[in-house]
Structures are given as C-alpha cells and as structure tokens.
Amino acid sequence: MNSMLNLPLAQPVLNRDALAREGAELFDLLWQDPETRILVLYKGKTLVADGKLVLFKTDQATAGKYRVYLGRTNQASKDIPANSPIVLSVLSDNAALALEPNTDNWKELRRTGAGLDPFDATLFTQALAIHNWHETHQFCPACGQITIMRQGGWSRFCISEDRELFPRTDAAVIVSIIDNQDRILLGSQGSWQENRWSVLAGFVEAAESLEAAVRREMFEESGLVVSDPVYLGSQAWPYPYSLMLAFTAKVDGSNQAEDIVADGVEIAKLRWFSREELIQEAKHIHLPSRISIARALIDRWLGQSIQTLTELESN
C-alpha cells in the first residue's frame, strides 16, 4: 500500500544485501572495496557536517566496539556512488573522542534529523535501530549467557542454547483523532517541555490487530471511543526499535468530543485544536520534529507545514 503521508524515514535508500551477510570474510572484503563508507555512532550520536552525515572511508575510520553491515546504497548521494557498501561502526569513548574530541559535534537523530535529507535521515535511523537492539540483547533471554554477533551484525547467537536471535521490531499505532468539528486531538506528556503537543500513540499488544490497538490505545489515553480507523503509512522509529503505523480515526458518535480524560500516566493534558488555533499559536508551541510520523499526521490534517517554536529555536 502506498503511503498517504510524506515520510522521509520510509525511503528505501539501502539494498540490505542480506545474502552477503553469511560470508565469514564479509568485513575483510568490504574493507578492500574503495567505495565502502563507514557511519560511526557514539552513545547513539553521529557526526554531521554542512547538513550531511560524515561517512568515512575505510582508511579513515577508527576501530569500533562492533560493526554492522547495513547494505548497499540504492542511489548515488554526495560523493558516494550508487551500490556503495555502508558499514556501521559503534565506537568506544576513547575511539570516538580521538576521532572528534568536541562532544557538541556528536549529533542525535531527534534534534538533527529534520535537517538531513531523506537518504541521510533514513541511514541514521537504520543504524541507530540496530545499535539499540545490540545494546539491549547481549545476553540470551532463555539462559542468560552472553551472545555473539553473526550475519554481519544482523543476528546474535547463543552457543549454550544453540539459539539464533534476530532484531525485534515493536509495532506501535499512532493516531490523529478528528472530531465532528474537524478538530485534531493533541496530548502532552508530563515529562515533556512546556507547551509540547503531539498525536496519541501506543504499542500493539500480543494477538491484537492494528485496528483493535487503535481503539484500545485511544480509549486508554483519552477516554474517547473512536471509529473508522484508516491506515495512512508506516515509518521506522529507533527509540528503541519501533515501527510506527499511522492511522486517522473519528470520534465515535456514542460519545462527545468534550468527554476527553487524560490517563494521567502517559498523557498529562489533552486539547482539541482547530486549524486556525494551531496556525495562530504555532510560534509559541512545540510540535514533533518534521522527520517524525507524528508531524506528518498533523501536517496532513492541517493541509500545510508551519514553523513552530521547535524550529525557531533550532535556527
């Protein structure tokens, strides 16, 4: 299904080249290829210069704690031909600070992703998601023994259990709720900065359909019964390794829009916005980053993209 949203992180920028992952000499061969480029990560951050990811050649990159073969580029980018291999290298403190000692130059996806083109933003997202999985799956969930990396970094293996572990993806629904006045419902979490708003979201539970998850999560977080959920698109979100599935839904006629009740746990405040109100208040509120699927849902309902306080502060 084609996405009905503009989703920068949904672009197929890499051929993941899964068949090549099996080779025992994979990284030796990649290091012999002059087109191989290295994306470095340090504490979930990478280096950005002039609005582009800094990708190193093999003779420039320092040794990392571990490496993951991300795949080959499907298209040419700045200074990188199509079909170039991309390798993630996760660095230790010493290696990272030897490469770039100014920690302010190490950038995180949430703050810099909106300024990157879709190629770089998607590449950063893929690298961060697999990194987050490795950081939390170093031990076998069955026996507790340490696991080792395999398949170019796309699996881990428990020798004790003879068990192969693969990266997990947590499905989550994210929903723009619209009432009979064509207003959108936005929520704010208690841990967020003042006047930050977004659409509601939640994880899909075991043996639950996406449509059922939409209805359950929206009721749990807002007290509203919603109907007619319509799927609009999906996008990876590497916090920690989620797949966000976007829907829009209407307030069911069995309840009133004014009956909203924040759950007080995940959502501290709820508010209906008309288009006029959101446009008028845009420069005084924080909305999700432009690379997020949450912002795409808001922009789709609004019919335009506006500059918010978040963007003003980052300029």
Is position 221 within any domain?
yes
What percent of the chain is modeled with pLDDT above 70?
Answer: 98
Which pairing describes strands 14-15 and 52-53: parallel, antiparallel, or unpaired?
unpaired
Q: Is the pLDDT of residue 311 over 70?
A: yes
Which residues, in sequence order, are bridge partners of residue 66? Answer: 90
Cα 292 from Cα 178, distance rounded (Å): 19
Measure Cα distances from 269 to 142, 153, 236, 250, 292 in Å.
40, 41, 26, 20, 21
147 and 43: one domain? no
Q: Which domain holds residue 116?
A: 8-135
Q: What is the pLDDT of residues 96-155, one digit of tens each?
A: 999 999 988 999 988 777 788 889 999 999 999 999 999 999 999 999 999 999 999 999
| pLDDT at residue 1, rounded to an integer | 41
Is position 113 within any domain?
yes
164 and 201: one domain? no
Structure tokens at 41: 């990560």
CATH number at residue 92: 3.90.79
Is position 292 within any domain?
no
* Residue where a domain stops, chosen among 110, 145, 168: 168
Q: What is the pLDDT of residues 185-208, one digit of tens each?
A: 999 997 788 889 999 999 999 999
14 and 124: one domain? yes
Is position 262 within any domain?
yes
157 and 106: one domain? no
- The dihedral of CA 116, 122, 125, 131: what is its sign? negative
User: Do the beta carbons of residue 191 and residue 185 sit within 8 Å?
Assistant: no
Structure tokens at 111: 């703050």
CATH number at residue 213: 3.90.79.10
95 and 182: one domain? no
* 19-47 average pLDDT score: 93
Which residues, in sequence order, are bridge partners of residue 250? Answer: 178, 227
Measure Cα distances from 308 to 10, 77, 154, 301, 312 in Å.
23, 30, 38, 16, 6
Whole-prediction pTM value?
0.89
* 216-230 average pLDDT score: 96
237 and 185: one domain? yes
Domain count, the chain: 3
Cα 149 from Cα 153, distance rounded (Å): 6
Q: What is the pLDDT of residues 162-189, one digit of tens each?
A: 999 999 899 999 999 999 999 999 999 9
Is position 66 within any domain?
yes
Is position 116 within any domain?
yes
* Residue where a domain stops, chosen among 151, 168, 185: 168
Residues 6+ apart with CB under 8 A from 111: 289, 314
* 275-288 average pLDDT score: 94
Is position 286 within any domain?
no
User: Do the beta carbons of residue 86 and residue 13 sit within 8 Å?
Assistant: no
Which among 162, 84, 73, 128 has a CA at the least distance from the CA of 238? 128
